[in-house]
Amino acid sequence: MSNEKIISDIEKKYKELGENSETYLKGLLHAKPINYWDYVEVESLLSLQKPRTNFKDEEIFIMYHQVTELVLKMMVHEIKQLVYEELDEPTWIDKLNRLNRYTGMLITSFDVMSAGMNYDDYNTFRSTLTPASGFQSAQFRFIEIYCTRLQNLINEEGKKRLGNEPSTEDYFEHIYWKDAGLNRQTGKKSLTLLQFEEKYLDSFVSLAQKVNGKTLEEKIKLFPNPSDELTSKLKEFDFKYNVEWPLVHLKTAQHYLDSKGENKAATGGSEWKKYLHPKFQQRKFFPELWSVDEKQEWGN
Domain annotation for the chain: domains and CATH numbers: 60-296 (1.20.58)
What value does the mean pLDDT take over residues 274-285?
A: 87
- State pLDDT tens for residues 82-113: 999 999 999 999 999 999 999 999 999 989 98
Residue 81 has pLDDT above 60, yes or no: yes
What value does the mean pLDDT take over residues 148-169?
A: 94
What value does the mean pLDDT take over residues 19-35?
A: 91
Q: Give the residue with greater pLDDT, 113 vs 145.
A: 145
What pTM value is reported for the model? 0.91
- State pLDDT tens for residues 112-131: 988 899 998 998 999 899 99
What value does the mean pLDDT take over residues 22-49?
A: 94
Q: Rounded to the nearest 5 degrees, what angle is found at the Cα of 81, between the Cα atoms of 79 and 83?
A: 70
Note the pLDDT of residue 280: 87
Residue 12 has pLDDT above 80, yes or no: yes
Residue 294 has pLDDT above 70, yes or no: yes
Note the pLDDT of residue 207: 98
* 185-215: b (≥16 Cβ within 10 Å) or e: eeeebbebbebbbeebeeebbebbeebeeeb
